[in-house]
């Protein structure tokens, strides 16, 4: 699935491609296979996840827990 996010009223888009397979979510910025991407994994019970955004020269890790 490709999602277009409009960042302003001038029509500029931020394009992302999402892929969900099993317990893994991958999001690419621009196009599938891009070197700017996030890969995340959901826990077996679905109440938490861990992921990491990566791009040339950088990146960061993200974790989350469902409260409700």
Domain boundaries, the chain: 2-65
| Backbone φ and ψ of 32, nearest 5° | -60, 130
* pLDDT at residue 6, as a whole number: 59
- The torsion of the CA quartet 46, 52, 53, 56, rounded to 10 degrees, works out to -160
**pTM, entire model:** 0.78
Q: What is the pLDDT along the chain (68 residues), one digit of tens a residue?
A: 656 565 667 777 778 888 988 999 999 998 999 999 999 999 999 899 999 999 999 999 999 998 88
């Amino acid at each position: 699935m490709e999602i277009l996010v409009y960042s302003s009223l001038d029509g500029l888009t931020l394009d992302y491609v999402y892929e969900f397979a099993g317990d893994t979510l991958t999001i690419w910025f621009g196009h599938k296979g891009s070197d700017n991407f996030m890969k995340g994994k959901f826990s077996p019970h679905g109440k938490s996840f861990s992921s990491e955004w990566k791009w040339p020269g950088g990146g960061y890790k993200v974790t989350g827990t469902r409260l409700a």
